[in-house]
């Protein structure tokens, strides 16, 4: 039987800006490196490919030299074909993604598995439209598009089911992206660019990111009163990103970073827009709690737009000091789906599983499962 043709494409710089508070990586690679950012996309692709190790004798990986996939395919023992036209050294560009995707379309691969963020998905859409079946491994900072699996492990499992023939149906999923320059100025402008064709199987791919409607303003204000009323003297509070948590800062009368993490003690602002290393230094050895909300439509607590809350920070805090807030409307949008975590540390993701109390209004809460 002819081996299945698996396209593999890794954007090696995807997600580098997240842990260091840059809210994206576009045009910010040098600054991300200056802040100590470490590339993560390769490791997330490795996690996905681990699910395919049992099919190594049944698939051929089509990729390109170096960090865009060739080095990983070789290291993991896959049979592979290197496609020409992309240099193995240096940072990759949008042009490299376009070139590689078009070659894969000409070859007629069975599935294009790509690691990146919304910008990578946009480039692939530009190159091939719905001409290929694709699946995204989430590796970017902001991942609004439902062309991505919920986690790298989910991407690998769904890819395996597709290649084995256990999944045969497809759907067209939206390619969404935002303007990162506006995003860093806390203006969120999400646009639909087109559609990509992905395997259809419930429970593996993420939903599209949904915004917070103006009608929830009263609920957000009520949540803020509940959380501020429960704040303890002498305890630091990290206030996570999002419109729900912004209500807490507004009630306290403090400057807020809508898409960042702020630090508060006894009603006073200690710092705005902290990222991983700074956050860890600020909380180490001090009683600190974290207030986070849920991404609308997707249900993520960690791993979508708040990667500056690193695994090291979460471990330093302890799960007992994580306070979750979300409006009832936002939870109902999930239609019974559990809340999700994708910290980049699979062991930590397992440790965070369980049931949590979620504040939904003043004096009201719901018990929600985290997976």
**pLDDT at 186 (0 to 100):** 61
Task: Clarify whether residues 219 and 193 are in a common domain.
Answer: no
Both structure tokens of 347: 């062991």
Domain residues for 60? 4-199
Domain boundary pick from 170, 199, 228: 199
Mean pLDDT of 331-357: 94
List, for residues 75-92, the tens digit of each pLDDT value.
999 999 999 877 655 567
Does residue 185 form part of some domain? yes
Does residue 99 form part of some domain? yes
88: Cβ–Cβ under 8 A, 6 or more apart, which residues?
A: 64, 65, 66, 67, 70, 71
Q: Is 344 left (phi over 0), alpha (psi -120 to 50) or beta?
A: left
Does residue 208 form part of some domain? no
Domain count, the chain: 2
Q: pTM for this one?
A: 0.85
**pLDDT at 142 (0 to 100):** 73
**pLDDT at 29 (0 to 100):** 64
Residue with tokens 């490299």: 96
Task: Tell which wins on pLDDT, 203 or 149.
Answer: 149
69: Cβ–Cβ under 8 A, 6 or more apart, which residues?
A: 8, 9, 10, 45, 61, 63
**pLDDT at 90 (0 to 100):** 59
CA-based R_g, the chain, Å: 21
Alpha-helical runs (H) found in the chain: 29-34, 41-50, 70-75, 94-107, 118-128, 152-164, 180-184, 217-229, 243-252, 276-283, 311-317, 328-333, 346-351
Residue with tokens 């802040």: 35
Q: What span, in angstroms and rounded, lies between the C-alpha atoms of 367 and 256?
A: 28
Does residue 120 form part of some domain? yes
2: Cβ–Cβ under 8 A, 6 or more apart, which residues?
A: none
Residue with tokens 């690193």: 310
Q: What span, in angstroms and rounded, lies between the C-alpha atoms of 84 and 64?
A: 7
Task: Clarify whether residues 169 and 30 are in a common domain.
Answer: yes
Q: What span, in angstroms and rounded, lies between the C-alpha atoms of 237 and 351?
A: 22
Domain boundary pick from 167, 199, 231: 199
Task: Clarify whether residues 154 and 291 are in a common domain.
Answer: no
Does residue 265 form part of some domain? yes
Mean of all residue pLDDT scores within the chain? 90
Both structure tokens of 348: 């930590």
Task: Clarify whether residues 233 and 99 are in a common domain.
Answer: no
Q: Is 201 left (phi over 0), alpha (psi -120 to 50) or beta?
A: beta
Task: Clarify whether residues 181 and 303 are in a common domain.
Answer: no
Task: Clarify whether residues 33 and 129 are in a common domain.
Answer: yes
Percent of the chain with pLDDT over 70: 89
Whether the CB-CB separation of 274 and 282 falls below 8 Å is answered with yes
171: Cβ–Cβ under 8 A, 6 or more apart, which residues?
A: 197, 198, 200
List, for residues 215-269, the tens digit of each pLDDT value.
678 899 999 999 999 999 999 999 999 999 999 999 999 999 988 999 999 999 9
Residue with tokens 């809508």: 258
């Amino acid at each position: 039987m002819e081996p299945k043709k698996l396209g593999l494409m890794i954007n090696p710089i995807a997600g580098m800006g997240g842990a260091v508070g840059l809210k994206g990586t576009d045009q910010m690679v040098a600054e991300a490196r200056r802040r100590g950012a470490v590339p993560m996309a390769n490791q997330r692709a490795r996690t996905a490919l681990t699910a395919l190790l049992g099919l190594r004798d049944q698939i051929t990986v089509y990729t390109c030299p170096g960090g865009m996939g060739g080095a990983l395919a070789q290291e993991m023992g896959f049979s592979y074909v290197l496609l020409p036209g992309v240099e193995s050294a240096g940072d990759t560009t949008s042009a490299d993604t376009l070139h590689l995707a078009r070659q894969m379309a000409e070859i007629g691969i069975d599935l294009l598995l790509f690691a990146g963020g919304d910008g990578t998905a946009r480039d692939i859409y530009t190159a091939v439209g719905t001409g290929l079946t694709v699946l995204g491994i989430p590796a970017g900072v902001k991942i609004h598009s439902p062309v991505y699996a919920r986690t790298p492990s989910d991407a690998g499992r769904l890819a395996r089911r597709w290649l084995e023939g256990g999944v045969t149906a497809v759907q067209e999923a939206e390619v969404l992206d935002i303007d990162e320059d506006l995003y860093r100025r806390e203006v969120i402008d999400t646009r639909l660019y087109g559609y990509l064709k992905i395997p259809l199987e419930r429970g593996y791919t993420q939903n599209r990111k949904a915004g917070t409607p103006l009608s929830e303003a009263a609920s957000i204000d009520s949540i803020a009163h509940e959380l501020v009323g429960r704040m303890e003297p002498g305890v630091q509070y990290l206030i996570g990103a999002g419109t729900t948590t912004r209500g807490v800062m507004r009630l306290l009368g403090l400057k807020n970073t809508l898409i960042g993490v702020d630090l508060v003690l006894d009603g006073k602002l200690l710092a705005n827009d902290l990222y991983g290393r700074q956050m860890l230094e600020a909380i180490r050895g001090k009683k600190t709690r974290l207030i986070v909300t849920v991404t609308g439509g997707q249900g993520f607590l960690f791993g979508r737009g708040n990667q500056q809350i690193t695994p090291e920070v979460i471990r330093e805090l302890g799960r007992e000091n994580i306070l979750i807030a979300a409006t009832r409307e936002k939870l109902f949008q999930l239609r019974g789906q559990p809340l999700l975590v994708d910290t980049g540390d699979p062991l930590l993701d397992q440790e965070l599983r369980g049931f949590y109390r979620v504040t939904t209004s003043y004096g009201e809460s719901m018990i929600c499962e985290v997976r």
